[in-house]
Structure 1
Amino acid sequence: MGALPLRLDDFYRDADAPGLPCAHGIVDWDDPATWDAVGALTALTGLLQDGAAVVPTYSIAQSRRVGEHTVEVGAHQLIVAEGIFALDLLPLIREAGLPVCPLYLDRNRWLVAGLRLRRDLAQHRKSPRVLLHRGWALLQAQPAQRDRALAAGFRPLTMRAALAELAD
């Protein structure tokens, strides 16, 4: 009955957590140190072993966790852990011996940047200035990020091919 998304963005740390890396005078949310990898792995393990996990509810606009909720596998046959830190989660998943099929959505970086900006502006995630600055940095970094993902074992697929594969 389809895929259950596990949003890795919900595992960001609060902006006032000590020791977060900064860039250009603000927290560098693209740095893995701003993210709770252990919490994400714990949630994924719980979903696979117990069928449910309590995960944080994160407000990107407020840069903090604003609650928590339970995610249940239910009738879903597949869990999709998606987000900017999927590449950082992969070695932890493998080390834990969990089943994984790492897919990389291989999309035009300009399209991705446009879609990201539209989403972030619509959701008021950050100020437009921050969104433009961060978006430009992500656009520039995407080729290297793709190379890292493929080197780590992610398989590149178009959006259409990935949706078809996940539907099988």
Structure 2
Amino acid sequence: MRARVIVLAGPSGAGKSRLAERIGLPVLRLDDFYKSAGDPTLPVISEGANTGIVDWDDPASWLLDDAMATLDELCRSGRADVPIYDIAHDGRCGSRVLDLAGSPLFVAEGIFAQEVVPHAREADLLAAAYCVRQHPVLTFWRRLTRDLREHRKPPLVLVRRGLALLRDQRRVVGHAVALGCVPVTGDEAYAASRELARSALPR
């Protein structure tokens, strides 16, 4: 075993990506393991204003087995090929090599990050798992401004999706906690992760 993983889960817009960068460890972006548009197994929203479009907030839109295999490879060899996903075009646009460069810890973050926690714990790959949370209205606003800025989807779809996620945030956090994540603020996750990083350094 060359490394262990710190998992950052939490609602879309909670600040996981920015937090991962602040921590300063290598980062595995689990959102790059989305399925591409056109995959016949993609789930579809069946009710509400967005009926008929792909439900990108359903874990079935994401490749759990591929994400776990990559996480395993990183922990055991220190490097792995990872996909690059373009959310605006709903598909992969290439790949890259993620090299931990000898780091004993790395961060895995994404909206489905909690799904890898039971596997990582069972395989003794888990250093810690956090669910980053903040007030639902703040999460809604940050998510909407980010998605509009990055042109991820048409504005009306983003607003409708954001309102649905706002109402669903408590369930999302509860699910992550049930899978083994500790609910924390971004600052709490940062402090705990930096302490783990310091303790992992050779003495």
TM-score by length of 2: 0.78
Q: 1:100 to 1:123 in 2, by over 3 A?
A: same
Pairwise CA RMSD of aligned residues? 1.5
Shift of 1:102: 0.9
Structure-1 residue corresponding to 2:145: 118
Question: Using the alignment, how far apart are the partners of 2:116 and 2:66 within structure 1?
Answer: 10
Structure-1 residue corresponding to 2:170: 143
Shift of 1:92: 2.4
Q: Is residue 7 of structure 1 aligned with residue 34 of structure 2?
A: no
Question: Using the alignment, how far apart are the partners of 1:165 and 1:77 within structure 2?
Answer: 16
**Residues 43 and 60, structure 2, Cα contact 8 Å, conserved in 1:** yes
Question: Using the alignment, how far apart are the partners of 1:80 and 1:41 within structure 2?
Answer: 13
Q: Structure 2 counterpart of 1:19, which letter?
A: T
**Residues 3 and 77, structure 1, Cα contact 8 Å, conserved in 2:** no
Structure-1 residue corresponding to 2:38: 16
Question: Using the alignment, how far apart are the partners of 1:32 and 1:126 within structure 2?
Answer: 19
Shift of 1:44: 0.9
Gap regions ≥5 residues in structure 2: 1-22, 46-50, 196-203
> What secondary structure does 1:22 align onto?
coil
Structure-2 residue corresponding to 1:160: 187
Instruction: Give aligned pairs, total.
Output: 168
Percent identical across equivalent pairs?
43
**Residues 117 and 126, structure 2, Cα contact 8 Å, conserved in 1:** no
Question: Using the alignment, how far apart are the partners of 2:150 and 2:104 within structure 1?
Answer: 30
Structure-1 residue corresponding to 2:125: 98
Q: Is residue 61 of structure 1 aligned with residue 88 of structure 2?
A: yes
Residue deviations 1:24-78 (CA, integer Å, cap 9, x gap): 1111101111101111111111111111111110000000111111111115442
Question: Using the alignment, how far apart are the partners of 1:77 and 1:2 within structure 2?
Answer: 13
Q: Is residue 132 of structure 1 aligned with residue 159 of structure 2?
A: yes
Q: Structure 2 counterpart of 1:115, which letter?
A: R
Q: Structure 2 counterpart of 1:71, which letter?
A: L
Shift of 1:19: 2.2
Question: Using the alignment, how far apart are the partners of 1:126 and 1:138 within structure 2?
Answer: 15
Shift of 1:10: 0.2
**Residues 120 and 126, structure 1, Cα contact 8 Å, conserved in 2:** yes
Aligned counterpart for 2:72 among listed residues 39, 45, 53: 45
- List, as ranges, runs of 4+ consecutive aligned residues in structure 1 with deviation greater than 4 Å: none
Q: Structure 1 counterpart of 2:133, which letter?
A: D
